[in-house]
Structures are given as C-alpha cells and as structure tokens.
C-alpha cells in the first residue's frame, strides 16, 4: 500500500505546502508540540507570526490538531520560522526535549509507560517513528541497559534539515523522563547535514536505582496519572460526541477524528455495515481514494489487510458493526498495546451505533405510524380510482421507506396492467412509467400475479424480457410487487423499489408492510368503485345509460362557460312521435327497448365532443359545443332526424317511429343554459305542429280525391 505523501519530495510538493491535498508526511503531534512550546515561551502572537512567516498556507487551528498531517516541507518551514521568531538556534532541540510539558499526547505517554523501561522503549522506537513521520526511518544499532546507539535516516529524495535533526535529538532524549528519570544524554557527532549517510545518536541514561525511590516513583506516578486523566477525558469526550451524533454517518466520521487524535498513524479506515441494510458506511483519512473500496470490503469480510495495520472490531454485545484500522506504511507497525487504545474508541462507536440504530428504528416506526394514519385519512377522502392510486403511491415511499413506488391497475377486457400513479421518480422516468402497459401475453409475471395473487420480488436478471426493458429504462434493480385484490377480483398491483440494492425476500418484513398498504388500497379502490357506481346512477338514466337531466344541465353550462365569442353552442331537443302507441300495442318492455335503441342511434350519429341526454319519458336532448356556424346546427339536426327513417325491430315487427327535432342556438355570450334549452323545446313544438298540420292536409287531400 502506498500512502499519499510517501516518496521523494518534488518541486510541486514544495510549492504547495499547507494545502488540503498536501502529502501526509508529518503527524499533527509534531506541529502541536511546536506551537505549544512557542505559546508557552513567547505567547499567542508569536504563534501567529510563525505561521504567517512560514507561508505554509494553513491556520493555527489546523496545525493545533494532532490528527492533522502535513508535508515534510511544511514541517521544515515551521521549524525555521520558530527559530527566527524565538531568536534561539537551539529552539527545535528544546521543543523535542520539553515534549512532556507541551503535549506529547496522553495516549503516547501511556503506550510508552506500558513498555516498562527506557531500554524497551528504545527497542520499540523504530516502530514509534511511524507515528510522527513517513519521511524518515530509524534503526537501533546497539542497545544496553543504560545506553543505546540509534541511527536516524531521511528517505531518498528529501533534503535534510539540521533543525529536524535537532528536534529528533531532543525528542529521543525524553524517553527516560517518561519513567521519572532524568532525560538521556545524547551525543550527536554524525549528521546527514554534514554529509554523513545518516544521523547517529549515542545515548546514555541513569539506572532507576540512582534516584531516591520515593522521588522517582512520585515523578513517574504523577506523569502517568496526568496521562490517564487526559486519556479518560478524551474518551469521555469521544463518548459524548458519538452519543450526540444524529445519524450513523456522523458517528462514523467523529470516531475516525477522535481515534486519529489518540492513536497517531498516517492513515485510518473505518467500515461498518449500514443500519438500514444498504451500502456500507466508510470513513477514511490518509488513504488514496481509489484504494478505499477494496480495503473497506476486506475489512468487512474479516480479511487480513497486512502487518502494517492495527485492526480492531467495532462490536457490541448486540452485534458486530464492522472494523476500524490504523494503517502505517509497508514495513512499519503499530506499537505494543496500541490495539487496546484503538479498541476503546471502537467500543464507544459500537455503543453509539447501537443507540443510533435503536433510535432510528423508533423514528422509522413512528414515521410509518404517522404515514399510515395520513394514508387512512387521505384514502377516506379519495373519491375515485385515480385519487386512490396517487395517494397510495405517495404513501408507499414513506411507509415502506422505498426510493420509488407505483400503482398499476388491471384492465381485464384488454388483459393489460396500466400505469396509474408513481412517486419518487424524476420527471423523465415518471413520464416513461406513465405510458407503461404490461400485456399479460407478453409479461408472464402479470399472469402469475393475476392467477396466484402472491407477492413477487423482481430484478433485471430474473424477469421476462419485456419487463426487464422497462426496469432498465427506469433504472430500477430490485422491486417488490404485491397484488391488489377486491373480493375475489384481481384489480392491480402496488410496487416499491430501492436505489441502494436492498436485499428483498417475498416473505420478508418489507413485503409484509407493502401488503398491508396494498390491502388498504384495495379497500379504497372498492369504495371508489361503489362511489363511482352511485355517482353514475345519480347522474345517468338507468334505462339507456345516457346522462340524465341533471348531468345534461351541467354539461350544457360547462359548454357555455368555455365558449369564446366566435364559437356557437347549440341544443337539439328531440321528442318521439307515437311513442305511446308502441307502449299500448306492444307493451312497456317494447317501449323500453325502443328507448334504448334510440339512445344507441343518437350516440352513433353525433360528434365525440357532443353530449346526448335523456331528459324524461321519450324526450332526448343533445349539446353541440364549438360550432363554427349556424348552418352546422341545422345539418346535425337533419342528421338526427334521418336516423328515424329506418324502422326499429321490436317484438319481431318493424316499427316506424318519427322524431321532432328542435334547435336552440346561442351566438356570442348571450343566453343562459335554461334559455337555450327552452328555445330548443319551443322550436321542437313548432316542428311538431308543422308535421301535424302537414299530415292533416295530406289526409284531407286523400279524402277529396
């Protein structure tokens, strides 16, 4: 694995110090130590001046963060600026030598203390270097009970800085002080800045017995207690941060930030399973983005990701959420007991995730309960099938938690599922779905739903070609489908789909919730059908199925209201002649059949936009909207009269019936619906009187002859 920042220092790197994308080559523990030293010896103004004079392009707040890593070039610039501002050539040695006073880090102190002695720490020091820099390596050439020779070498491609060497010399000498001893004496007579291949440090330190026992123990204990108190406060703050996270994503991010402050490493990776079963939650720092997915997958799979990593589970007594890793460069490893420190943060994270999952579950259930109540309320007010479908599709995304949802209704006459409503689709996909028609003879799944009435879980790999094409266009992978059944009749389907690839099963909780909503939808559709039937009965003639007087009046008023000044609206008033004779000679059943056949002929002769109504008895009327001239009304009236030239076949006999047709015409905006209907009625009686007068004259003429 290669981390950003590992490798030679290029001109581009040197020019871009301090930027957000600069190499992660220097731990924030170093910059924090430096600023704390300057703050203690010269004040906050000197800190600001060092940052300004170094020209590193970042802020004091960022450099004060132990989890922030910067480039080697930034480190050297800050060191040089500190020496200038403080006016002390030995400033960087002193920064390292006084590290215990200025924030070496409670976790580091405890890790060093856990090793037991200065000799053991120096043996582990090459591994500890990786916590502070990725640009240098350290080797222990000689190690005794009270002496050691350590070689410190800059990686190829970087320019050595004597100030960096001074800082390392001071920091190396601090180790015995961690155990209550005086600092080590360091002799440095070989330096890379003088042309040597590496910096060599010869160290000697006192044996513990050379100090009075109580004095040594008190100094050591005080240091350890202070570190423990600091680490406890850090853990408590981490627990507070995690517990107050509003969602799992925030908790994951905060965990990495806190762990980075406690366990110094060039890179971190946290991967946990998403609480909702979707894509894993992954947070990383210091890793090249292209490496993150594969490493996260390996972490979640429990695979070994290398000796250069410290990996701990993020697990509670309830569940294993995932794993957290601190990552070093190849060849470097974490220090002894570092795993337990990292595990403490992972434990807090697991507890926080447990809490968030429980809270999220409670919120989801409360939201679903509210959504179900809203659904019931809205369905109670839905008066037709279209309104029911719209309400159900919208509610499904909230009740089920799906990305999108839809309702399709079954047309048994054509054998097709027709899209009626959708939610959660963008306008383009919604338009595609609205035009969808799934033919039963082309889509086997439709026959399965209509026949078996059982839920289905569909995906592009297992569906029929016609349905697969629709899913591809809609960009949908997995979709749950449940049938809508009213009584014993299959009336349609409700669907829910997810963008995140949720694993669905036909007997799972998601499908069960979907079936619950589908049952409500079926009941609402049944009620809407009854309402449609009642509404139809209230507004239509039960014998002929034509609009009755009430609905005819509404259609006439609507036609008048929508007509502009150039359009004409006409009404034809039709009254059957000798209808009573049919009833008297053939019976009322024949009279009813005659009325039904007259209605059929009238429907067949008018335009699609016209309305034919039965007003009462043998009286019919027709609304003719949007006429371009008065002659059109006369032509339509003649056409209506012409349908009575052919006889009607009733009770095995040909029966001739005449019809008197009157015309009422409104031009412009003059006249109401009542006036127009009355005008047509008057004209009809005029036509009827004329027909009677003509018939009487014909009878008289025949008698005279």
The neighbour count for residue 698, using CB atoms within 10 Å, is 9
Q: Residue 663: which residues within 8 A CB-CB, separation 6 or more?
A: 570, 571, 572, 573, 633, 634, 637, 680, 683
Distance, in Å, from the CA atom of 606 to the CA atom of 623, rounded to the nearest integer, reads 10
What is the rounded CA–CA span in Å between residue 355 and residue 352? Answer: 5
Q: How confident is the model at residue 596 (pLDDT cuts 50, 70, 90)?
A: very high
3-state secondary structure 607-673: CCCCEEEEEECCEEEEEEEEECCHHHHHHHHHHHHHCCCCCEEECCEEECCEEEEEEEEEECCCCCH
In percent, the amount of the chain with pLDDT more than 90 equals: 31
Has residue 546 got a pLDDT over 90? yes
On whether the pTM is more than 0.75, the answer is no
Mean pLDDT of the chain: 80
Q: For the ranges 238-252, 555-569, 594-608, 615-629, which has the lowest average pLDDT?
A: 238-252
658, 646 contact by CB (below 8 A): no
- Of the segments 202-216, 241-255, 567-581, which one has the largest average pLDDT value? 567-581
Q: Which of 9-23, 234-248, 371-385, 650-664 has the lowest mean pLDDT?
A: 9-23
Reported as a pLDDT band with limits 50, 70 and 90, residue 703 is: very low
> Which of 1-5, 201-205, 492-496 is modeled with the greatest confidence?
201-205
Q: How far is CA 312 from the centre of its chain?
A: 30
Per-residue pLDDT tens over the stretch 174-201 = 888 888 889 999 999 999 999 999 999 9
- The CA-to-CA distance between both ends of the chain, in Å, stands at 123
CA atoms within 13 A on the CB side of 314: 30
C-beta atoms surrounding 590 within 10 Å: 17
Over 80: is that where the pLDDT of 583 sits?
yes
Say how far apart CA 269 and CA 659 lie, in whole Å.
90
**Rg for the chain (alpha carbons), in Å?**
45
Asked if the model's pLDDT at residue 220 lies above 90, the reply is: no
pLDDT digits 0-9 by tens, 144-185: 999 999 999 999 999 999 999 999 999 999 888 888 889 999
- Tokens of residue 375, six digits: 């659904």
The DSSP result for 416-432, as a single string, is EEEEEEEES--HHHHHH
Q: Which residue intervals of 244-337 are DSSP H helices?
A: 248-262, 292-300
DSSP 3-state of 544: coil
Lowest mean pLDDT among 247-256, 432-441, 598-607: 247-256
Distance CA 586, CA 502 (A): 70
Residues 490-501, mean pLDDT to the nearest whole number:
80
Q: What pLDDT is stored for residue 590 in this prediction?
A: 92
What's the rounded Cα separation, in Å, for the pair 496 and 354? 28
**And the tokens for 314?**
């993020």
CA 670 to each of CA 7, 436, 531, 632, 681: distance values in angstroms, whole numbers, following the listed order = 91, 46, 37, 19, 18
Query: Which residues are within 8 A (CB) of 279 and not within 5 positions of it... i.e. 6 or more apart?
Result: 500, 501
Specify which residues 480 forms β-bridges with.
457, 496
Q: At what angle do helices 44-54 and 72-86 cross, to 10 degrees?
A: 130
Inter-axis angle of helices 509-539 and 338-381, nearest 10: 10
Q: What is the pLDDT of residue 3?
A: 33
> How far apart are the C-alpha atoms of 406 and 484, rounded to whole Å?
12
Alpha-carbon distance 703 to 705, whole Å? Answer: 5
Do 333 and 308 meet the contact criterion of CB atoms below 8 Å apart? yes
CA distance 1 to 332: 12
User: Could you tell me the sign of the dihedral formed by the alpha carbons of 537, 543, 547, 549, in that order?
Assistant: negative
DSSP state of 155: P
Burial class (CB in 10 A: 0-12, 13-18, 19+), 588: exposed
Q: What is the dihedral of CA 372, 377, 378, 380, to 10 degrees?
A: 120
**pLDDT > 70 fraction of the chain, expressed in percent and rounded:** 79
C-alpha distances in Å from residue 84, one per residue of 34, 52, 54, 90: 13, 12, 10, 11
Tell me the pLDDT band of 276, cut-offs 50, 70 and 90. Answer: low
Please report the domains of the chain, with CATH numbers, ordered by start residue: 1-88 (no CATH), 105-244 (3.30.1380), 247-359 (3.30.450.40), 382-537 (3.30.450.40), 549-704 (3.30.70.270)
The residues, any chain, with a CB within 8 Å of residue 585's CB and separated by 6 or more, are: none
Calpha distance 263→443 (Å, rounded): 59
pLDDT digits (tens, 9 = 90+) for 656-698: 998 999 999 886 666 788 999 999 999 999 988 887 776 555 4
Q: How far apart are CA 554 and CA 621, in angstroms?
A: 13
Angle at 309 between CA 303 and CA 310, to 5 degrees: 95
345 pLDDT band, cuts 50/70/90, is confident
């Amino acid at each position: 694995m290669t981390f950003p920042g590992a490798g030679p220092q290029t001109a581009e790197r040197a020019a871009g110090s301090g930027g957000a994308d600069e190499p992660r080559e220097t731990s924030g523990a170093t910059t924090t130590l430096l600023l704390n030293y300057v703050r203690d010896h010269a004040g906050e103004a000197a800190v600001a001046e060092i940052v300004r004079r170094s020209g590193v392009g970042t802020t004091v707040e960022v450099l004060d963060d132990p989890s922030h890593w910067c480039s080697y070039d930034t480190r050297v610039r800050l060191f040089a600026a500190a020496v200038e501002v403080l006016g002390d050539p030995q400033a960087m040695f002193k920064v390292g030598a006084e590290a215990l006073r200025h924030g070496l880090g409670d976790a580091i102190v405890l890790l060093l203390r856990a090793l037991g002695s200065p000799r053991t720490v120096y043996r582990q020091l090459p591994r500890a270097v990786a916590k502070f820099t990725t640009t240098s390596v350290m080797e222990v050439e000689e190690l005794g009970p009270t002496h050691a020779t350590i070689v410190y070498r800059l990686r190829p491609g970087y320019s050595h800085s004597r100030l960096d060497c001074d800082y390392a010399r001071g920091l190396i000498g601090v180790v015995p002080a961690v155990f209550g001893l005086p600092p080590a004496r360091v002799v440095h007579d070989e330096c890379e800045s003088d042309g040597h291949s590496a910096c060599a440090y010869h160290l000697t330190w006192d044996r513990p017995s050379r100090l009075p026992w109580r004095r040594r123990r008190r100094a050591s204990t005080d240091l350890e207690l202070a570190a423990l108190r600091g680490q406890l406060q850090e853990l408590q703050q981490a627990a507070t941060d995690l517990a107050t996270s509003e969602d799992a994503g925030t908790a994951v991010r905060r965990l990495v930030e806190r762990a980075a402050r406690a366990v110094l490493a060039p890179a971190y990776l946290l991967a946990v399973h998403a609480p909702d079963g979707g894509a894993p939650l992954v947070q990383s720092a210091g890793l090249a983005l292209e490496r993150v997915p594969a490493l996260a997958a390996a972490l979640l799979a429990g695979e070994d990701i290398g000796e250069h990593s410290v990996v701990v589970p993020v697990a509670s007594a309830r569940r294993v959420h995932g794993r957290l890793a601190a990552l070093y460069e190849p060849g470097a490893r974490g220090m002894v007991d570092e795993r337990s420190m990292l595990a403490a943060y992972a434990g807090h994270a697991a507890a926080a995730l447990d809490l968030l999952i429980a809270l999220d579950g409670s919120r989801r259930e409360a939201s679903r309960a509210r959504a179900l109540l809203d659904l019931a309320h809205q369905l109670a007010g839905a008066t037709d099938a279209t309104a029911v479908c719209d309400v159900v599709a919208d509610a499904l995304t909230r009740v089920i938690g799906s990305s999108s949802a839809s309702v399709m209704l079954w047309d048994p006459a054509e054998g097709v599922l027709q899209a009626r409503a959708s939610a959660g689709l963008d306008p383009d996909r919604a338009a595609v779905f609205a035009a969808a028609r799934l033919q039963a003879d082309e889509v086997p799944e439709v026959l399965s739903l209509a026949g078996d009435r059982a839920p289905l879980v569909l995906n592009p790999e297992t569906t029929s070609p016609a349905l697969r094409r629709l899913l591809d266009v809609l960009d949908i992978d997995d979709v749950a489908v449940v049938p809508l059944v009213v009584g014993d009749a299959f009336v349609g389907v409700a669907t829910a789909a997810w963008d995140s690839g949720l694993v669905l099963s036909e007997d799972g909780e998601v499908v069960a919730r979907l079936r619950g909503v589908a049952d409500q939808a079926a009941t609402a559709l049944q009620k809407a059908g009854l309402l449609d039937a009642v509404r139809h009965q209230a507004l239509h003639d039960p014998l002929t199925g034509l609009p009755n007087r009430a609905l005819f009046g509404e259609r006439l008023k609507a036609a008048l209201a929508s007509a502009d000044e150039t359009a004409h609206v006409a009404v034809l008033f039709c009254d059957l002649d000798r209808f009573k004779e049919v009833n008297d000679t053939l019976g009322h059943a024949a009279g009813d059949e005659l009325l039904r056949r007259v209605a059929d002929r009238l429907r067949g002769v008018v335009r699609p936009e016209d309305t034919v109504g039965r007003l009462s008895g043998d009286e019919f009327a027709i609304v003719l909207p949007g006429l371009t001239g008065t002659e059109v009304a006369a032509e339509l009236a003649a056409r209506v009269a012409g349908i009575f030239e052919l006889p009607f076949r009733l009770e095995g006999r040909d029966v001739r019936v005449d019809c008197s047709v009157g015309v009422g015409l409104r031009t412009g905006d003059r006249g109401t619906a009542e006036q127009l209907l009355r005008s047509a009625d008057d004209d009809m009686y005029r036509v009827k009187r004329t027909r009677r007068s003509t018939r009487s004259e014909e009878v008289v003429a025949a008698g005279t002859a």
